[in-house]
Chain A
Amino acid sequence: MKKNAFKMALISAVAIAAASTAFAAEKLKVGFVYVGPVGDFGYSYQHDQGRLALQKALGDKVETTFLENVPETDSDRPIEQLARSGHKLIFTTSFGYMEPTLRVAKKFPGVKFEHATGYKRAENVATYTAKFHEGRYVIGQIAGKMTKTNTIGYVASFPIPEVVAGINAFMLGAQSVNPSVKVKIVWANTWFDPGKEADAAKALLAQGADIISQHTDSAAPLQEAEKAGKLGFGQASDQFRFAPKAQMTAIVDDWSSYYIERTKAVLNGAWKSKDTFGGMDADMVHMAPFTNMPDDVKKMAEETFAAIKAKKLNPFKCPIVDQDGKAVECKDGKALTDKQITSMNWYVKGIDDKLPK
């Protein structure tokens, strides 16, 4: 009797396992590789929100897996592991995964790879990133309107094009509403070190900045602004909960629509390697709710956001004058090209800082 029951249980277990494998085999397996923890409430968190949206939208056709905290220097193994375990579409979401992704892609020509923020592609490797600088233009305008000391503090991470383009877009936004505004920049030389980021914000506040903007990943600078009774912006994700009295808005990365679109392309066989540089128009960049500001500033911010989304306004519209007063070559006629933006290594006029080379 007992033996029989055990046998029955065993058989049903095997049956269930077989059924679930059969079921799983029909689904497309999609893998994600994150550089940070999904709980960072910042960059990796936003990518995972995209994965969850994909799961929700196409849950009956796809099965998603993610690997978090994957160091860039040792990412070949985890990426290959995903490819070996039957994942047919793999998103590698940090700049440093570029070479490892290409190496693994070479070994698995049947698998599609998508690398975020990189610039090297292959037959089965596409790249994608978002125009975060569009959001920086909006917060620059808000800062230009809201500053009383005409001094805005900016905690920067590393002098790479994405960050430099962010500073420039921010400055152009601020100048568009306040010609006498000054932006003070402190390079923290880190993406994530709450203590150091807080110290950088303190230094900027001590020099008379009354608004803190940041391009580092923790909420520490925003919290310093709140503690000092000043204002600031969230980074990569809505950080309102950290500073309800200081956060005016935040630039929110949104990968959902991209992940859904690309997965659909694999499902219907239309996937091709390409480069995507999407902004507000592609729903890849959002703004968190506008708070802690008067209605007229809020209205202005909403209008700017709508104008950029409708492609009526380009933060890098010509003419643009660089730090030395030279006009920047306008290759596209009306605005800087995507290539000029993604390789930006110069400051616009009015920035009182020397770009570290």
Chain B
Amino acid sequence: MTSELFQLVLMTVVTAATPLILASIGELVTERAGVLNLGVEGMMIMGAAMGFAGAYSSGSTAIGALCGILAGMAMAALFGLLTIGFAINQVAAGLALTIFGTGLSGLLGAGFVGLKRDRSDQLHIPGLSDLPYVGQLVFGEDLFVYVAFGLVAGVAWFLSRSRTGLALRATGDNHQSAHALGLSVRRMRFLATLFGGACAGLAGAYLTLAYTPFWSPGMTAGRGWIALALVVFASWKPWRVVLGALLFGGATVLQLHAQAAAFGLPGQLLSAVPYLATIVALVLLSSGARKNAAAPAALGQAFIAPR
């Protein structure tokens, strides 16, 4: 395998994994606070539409990314208002959020269908980016990629090393105790939900600004749902999200390369590989010694303060 082909294959794996990493790490924080937001797909597609609209209107990728983030947060705020404010069932509200986001993004993005803009900039460090095999891969990615990995590192540190992170986990594990300790359960959950929305919005913006630089309704094509599955796959641990996203993105992309290289394997079987890998990983994870320790204990439960 030549240096160029090697890098190209691995870079497509990274581009396929990045939106999954972004959306999953946000949902992970939301879920660690005890909120199950099934509306990732809806927040993501709003981020994709508004990210493109913002970038196209302003001519700036950064402003586009910001618009994507804000759109995701607005959707998350709505979800938070319903589920944390009014204690509505989270599953139902999350599904409604996805349907709402899909429809609204189609409506708001209608004027931007069929337009295109240039792909967002890629990092270039003279010398380093030109190294064989790894130069482009490590030093020449879209800026979003570095943001995604930075976010994972930040979240990992925040959850395990910071005091607020500890409080957030306490909220997700036992909201009554957290409340008794004087922590504001609702405030914590609302902020965690907003963070999840911001990340999903950014993941959507990545699709329209870097992955395929145009907007089309329904273009997230189920990535929000995969991001949700990845959080479970990662057993709510930040770095495993990266592992899962690379595995999933990798299997999807590698099967396309395997077909192009004519290894003679049937496409349908190859397409199923990422899903098979997910099932195998879930079985392995759940057969471990601490199988029930992974999920936040109060996940999906509405909190109503005792009076």
Contact = CB atoms under 8 A, between A and B. Distances in A.
A41 B217 CA distance: 11
A73 B260 CA distance: 33
A56 B189 CA distance: 55
A223 B268 contact: no
Interface stretch (B249-257, B283-291, B297-305): B249-257
A37 to B, nearest CB: 5
Contacts of A292: none
B16 interface: yes
- Most A CB within 10 A of own CB, among B9, B214, B252, B260: B260
Given A37-B218, A218-B212, A242-B214, A186 B267 contact: yes
Contact of A189 (B15, B16, B262, B267): B267
B72 interface: no
A149 interface: no
B112 to A, nearest CB: 9
A186 B271 CA distance: 11
B306 to A, nearest CB: 43
B137 interface: no
Contacts of B116: 219, 223, 241-242
Contacts of A185: 259
A178 B268 CA distance: 31
Given A189-B271, A194-B219, A223-B213, A200 B256 contact: yes
Nearest to B113: A39
A352 interface: yes
A41 B212 contact: no
A197 B267 CA distance: 14
Contacts of B216: 40-41, 192, 194, 218
Given A186-B267, A187-B268, A203 B257 contact: yes
Contact of B217 (A39, A184, A186, A189): A39
Contacts of B268: 187, 189, 356
Contact of A241 (B114, B222, B260): B114
A192 B12 contact: no
Contacts of A223: 116, 212-214
B257 A194 contact: no
Interface string A293-319: 000000000000000000000000000
Contact of A195 (B9, B16, B218, B266): B16
A225 interface: no
State which size class the interface on A falls in: 35 or more
A204 interface: yes
A41 B9 contact: no
B42 to A, nearest CB: 15
Interface string A193-210: 111111110111011010
A44 to B, nearest CB: 10
A193 B225 CA distance: 14
A203 B267 contact: no
A197 B256 CA distance: 10
A16 B276 CA distance: 63
Nearest to A352: B262
Contact of B256 (A37, A203, A218, A227): A203
B280 interface: no
A69 to B, nearest CB: 7
Interface in B217-268: 217-219, 221-223, 252-253, 256-257, 259-262, 264, 266-268
Contacts of B266: 354, 356-357
Contacts of A353: 262
Given A41-B113, A186-B259, A203-B260, A193 B253 contact: no
Interface string B79-105: 000000000000000000000000000
B219 A218 contact: yes
A189 to B, nearest CB: 5
A181 interface: no
B106 interface: yes
B27 to A, nearest CB: 19
Contacts of A203: 9, 12, 253, 256-257, 259-261
B9 A206 contact: yes
A119 to B, nearest CB: 23
B279 interface: no
Contact of B211 (A186, A188, A195, A354): A195
A199 B15 CA distance: 9
Interface string B12-31: 10011001000000000000
Which of A200, A202, A203, A209 has its CB near the most chain B CB atoms (within 10 A)? A203
B119 interface: yes
Nearest to A197: B212
B262 A206 contact: no
A164 to B, nearest CB: 13
Contacts of B113: 37, 39-41
B110 interface: yes
Given A196-B252, A356-B266, A39 B114 contact: yes
A204 to B, nearest CB: 5
Contact of B16 (A199, A206, A209, A218): A199
Contacts of B264: 354
Nearest to A195: B211
21 contacts: A41-B216, A69-B217, A186-B256, A187-B267, A189-B268, A193-B219, A193-B221, A194-B219, A195-B16, A195-B19, A195-B212, A199-B15, A199-B16, A199-B253, A203-B9, A204-B260, A206-B257, A218-B219, A220-B212, A241-B114, A353-B262
Interface of B: 5, 8-9, 12, 15-16, 19, 106, 110, 113-116, 119, 207, 211-214, 216-219, 221-223, 252-253, 256-257, 259-262, 264, 266-268, 271
Pairs A-B, 4 closest by C-beta atoms: A187-B267, A193-B221, A203-B260, A194-B212
Given A69-B106, A195-B16, 6 more contacts: A186-B256, A192-B219, A195-B19, A199-B15, A220-B214, A356-B266
